[in-house]
Structure 1
Amino acid sequence: MPLHAPKPAILVLEDGRTFHGESYGAEGETFGEAVFSTGMTGYQETLTDPSYHQQVVVMTAPHIGNTGINDEDMESTRIWVAGYVVRDPARVPSNWRSQRSLDDELVAQGVVGISGIDTRALTRHLRERGAMRVGISSVESDPAALLAKVTASAEMQGANLSAAVSVSEAYVVPAVGEKKFTVAAVDLGIKANTPRMMAERGIEVHVLPATSTLAEVLAVSPDGLFFSNGPGDPAATTRQVELLQSALDAGLPYFGICFGNQLFGRALGFGTYKLKYGHRGINQPVMDRTTGKVEVTAHNHGFAVDAPLEGSTETPYGTATVSHVCLNDDVVEGLELRDAAGALKSFSVQYHPEAAAGPHDAAYLFDRFCDLMAARTTAQEA
């Protein structure tokens, strides 16, 4: 922790609302889309989730940093948030796994943050007015000057960001124990726990760059195709939609998470739209309409699929239905694609069944993907 007193800092929202606090993490200036996360645990996983690229995350839990930072819980190789907002940062981390403080890690990675502000008031403002652009600065004390920079910064709507967070070269995560399946996983901002959970089920995971072609996908002889979570506006992402449509034409089973759900929706002919303030945190109730089971799930999305909650939709690839729905606001949280005989061909969910910090209610979806690939293998052998 720093030995000197923190510098004053200001946070200015796009609509002019201003908060005064203290610099937390690196000193400087940063801009992004202001969003709030309701998780009381798992801040390290949030910080290192590539889906938060170009977003300034406001933590609704008042006390952050008490368990420090370790090298095992990273979801990627770096912190991706554009800025970090907390009310009461821990002065001293206390956990047997802690290797350094959160503040030191933010400084080391150049992440500008602010502390000591009323995050409850800020969250209420975002709930009422919606997610918006924001600036944090410990080098500019004039709110009007910072506001001018905020309004000149990039917006999230229309942003194509997947290539910025994806790997540049493919890599393989081997299956644990006996290899049962091979999956081509297109990295749009993948979290480390996703291929890990697949590997535990006997899947050899080939993680491919976001720019991969159908030929590159088929070159690994996959039993299934996976699209990961990721940042940006799905309406601005067309290359991966075309790849997915070609894969569906080829009869490849598909499983998508979060951004992968939005792109699946667009591939099937549905639209997407920006939510007012999005879903973020680890306490969102979702119903799996195929089983009637209600799950508490982890979310991080500012966009959603515009598909009818009732009935089915005929697409060039089969019959599509909404399989999961958020019980808070009826947002589409999952899609299914079935053939003429009613057999499942592909599916996706808007939330995170791989949530490393929990909850783990939806981990069964990886088993559902295995069942889908096994059924295809059986049909091919028949």
Structure 2
Amino acid sequence: MTQHTTATPVTAPAPAVLVLEDGTVHRGAAYGARGARLGEAVFATGMTGYQETLTDPSYARQIVVQTAPHIGNTGINDEDAESRKIWVAGYVVRDAARRPSNWRSRRTLDEELEVQGIVGIKDVDTRSITRHLRSAGAMKAGIFSGDQAARPIAELITEVRAQPSMAGARLAEEVSTDTAYVVEPHEHGWTDEIVATVAAIDLGIKTMTPVRMAERGLRVHVLPAASSFAEIQALGPDGVFLSNGPGDPATAANQIELLREVLEARTPFFGICFGNQILGRALGFGTYKLPFGHRGINQPVMDHATGKVEITSQNHGFAVDAPVGEVLTAPQERFGRVEVSHSSLNDGVVEGLRCLDIPAFSVQYHPEAAAGPHDSAYLFDRFVELMTDASTQTGADTVTPISHDPALTPAPETRGGNPLNA
């Protein structure tokens, strides 16, 4: 007797639409949670590390467009998250993996997005979207899926345009830890005595950053963004660190003033990403919003001290406005001389600052490499040296200015406009 089987019908995915503030519309299928989410549309060029991207607090209130076409292939694991949750406002992918394949995978990316309430869209031409954002700049956007996708487009455009801009956004306190905690060296393979103690201000810190310090024998006290100088002093740290984070550095008045107190006390300082922008403003430089930012794990940076090129991991939409290729007295003259130590080879944007008369330096990129290349791990060693060098603790000037080669300095007129990495 012939047996007949009934095929299970394939359920069509719920519709979704991506709406940009300039009226551009892309239709696709729902991915993750259903609903409506607003944010600033930006693109990230990394071919790997989507879990680290999603959980990077610097992406708060941003809709991330992944240029890599296949996303979700390795699922979600329990080890690679860079914070306590997914921070992106929305997620845009081309081809979402239907079945992840990795020995560490615990669930699909689609499931994780749904559980955490992240609205996404798939089956759209992310390359076309990226080219548009590269030309027109990062802009307000919204993802609308399920029933929300059926609303009139004109209504959705109005809603997108009404949301606040990223310029002027103060977000560090929203993503920072509420309570202080300590990352101990012995928890990360260090077996010798503690080398130094660091007070790390969490402006959106990634998990791997204090781990990289702990691996070098540093005890790291991670403090809330609103911490005071008195609270830092109470710990008696050998150095102070300001982390990455989201938002406009021009709004971080409290952190800027805090850092000025740190610099005046001549406490060794290291900052990355948002911390670099805070150092720039503490020294008296301005900051500005880039047309579409630097986001990816393949960004080339010139180290002006060595002439070497580092391939770096970056995620920033703002930059420090300082001259490249010269030593100058900081606009806040009490902090002495300063120079740009690193710059982008794509567009000349400032990627690092170095103070010559006080123990302080910073970079705009992410040396913790989560995800990304390890070219810049030496910066954590430099921070250790800064704290353990007795001459810097006593205020002696031991820093020699960089001898800049004009041929290696990107033309300043190209700053902020990056024709590559898209």
Q: For structure 2, list consecutive stretches of 5 or more residues without a partner in the other structure.
A: 1-9, 397-422
Report the CA distance between 1:183 and its aligned residue: 0.3
Q: How does 1:147-186 map to 2 (within 5 A)?
A: 147-175=157-185, 176-177=190-191, 178-186=193-201
Q: 2:149 aligns with which of 125, 137, 140?
A: 140
| 1:77-117 Cα deviation digits (max 9, x unpaired) | 10000000000000100001101000000000000000001
Q: How does 1:177-326 map to 2 (within 5 A)?
A: 177=191, 178-315=193-330, 316-326=334-344
Q: 1:43 aligns with which of 33, 50, 72?
A: 50
| 1:291-316 Cα deviation digits (max 9, x unpaired) | 11100000000000000002122131
Distance 1:236 1:380 in 2: 33
- Do the aligned residues in 1 keep the contact of 2:198 with 2:237 (CA within 8 Å)? yes
- Do the aligned residues in 2 keep the contact of 1:25 with 1:111 (CA within 8 Å)? yes
Distance 1:20 1:381 in 2: 60
| 1:199-230 Cα deviation digits (max 9, x unpaired) | 00000000000000000011111000000000
Question: Structure 1 residue 330 and structure 2 residue 348: aligned?
Answer: yes
Q: Structure 1 residues 378 and 149, CA, compared in 2 at 3 Å: closer, same or farther?
A: closer
- Do the aligned residues in 2 keep the contact of 1:262 with 1:272 (CA within 8 Å)? yes
Report the CA distance between 1:318 and its aligned residue: 2.0
Report the CA distance between 1:5 and its aligned residue: 2.9
Q: 1:118 aligns with which of 115, 118, 125?
A: 125
Of the structure 1 ranges 368-377 and 64-73, higher mean CA displacement relative to structure 2 is found in 368-377
Q: Structure 1 residues 121 and 16, CA, compared in 2 at 3 Å: closer, same or farther?
A: same
Alignment-derived partner of residue 351 in structure 1: 365
Percentage of identical aligned residues:
64
Distance 2:117 2:53 in 1: 16
Q: 1:65 aligns with which of 69, 72, 78?
A: 72
Amino acid at match of 1:327: L
Amino acid at match of 1:206: H
TM-score, with structure 2 as normaliser: 0.87
Amino acid at match of 1:75: E
Alignment-derived partner of residue 372 in structure 1: 386
- Do the aligned residues in 1 keep the contact of 2:61 with 2:88 (CA within 8 Å)? yes
Of the structure 1 ranges 21-30 and 372-381, higher mean CA displacement relative to structure 2 is found in 372-381
- Do the aligned residues in 1 keep the contact of 2:301 with 2:342 (CA within 8 Å)? yes
- Do the aligned residues in 1 keep the contact of 2:32 with 2:120 (CA within 8 Å)? yes
- Do the aligned residues in 2 keep the contact of 1:10 with 1:143 (CA within 8 Å)? no
Q: Structure 1 residues 54 and 319, CA, compared in 2 at 3 Å: closer, same or farther?
A: same
Distance 2:195 2:212 in 1: 14
Distance 1:377 1:173 in 2: 27
SS in 2 for 1:276: strand
Q: What is the aligned-residue RMSD (CA, Å)?
A: 1.4
Amino acid at match of 1:331: V
Alignment-derived partner of residue 14 in structure 2: 7
Question: Structure 1 residue 23 and structure 2 residue 20: aligned?
Answer: no
Q: Which has the larger radius of gyration?
A: 2
Distance 1:379 1:199 in 2: 21
Of the structure 1 ranges 300-309 and 168-177, higher mean CA displacement relative to structure 2 is found in 168-177
Amino acid at match of 1:148: T
Alignment-derived partner of residue 376 in structure 2: 362
Over 6 Å off, 4+ runs:
none
Q: 2:85 aligns with which of 78, 88, 101?
A: 78
Amino acid at match of 1:189: G
| 1:253-301 Cα deviation digits (max 9, x unpaired) | 1000000000000000000000000000000000111111100000000
Count matched residues.
376
SS in 1 for 2:128: helix
- Do the aligned residues in 2 keep the contact of 1:12 with 1:147 (CA within 8 Å)? yes
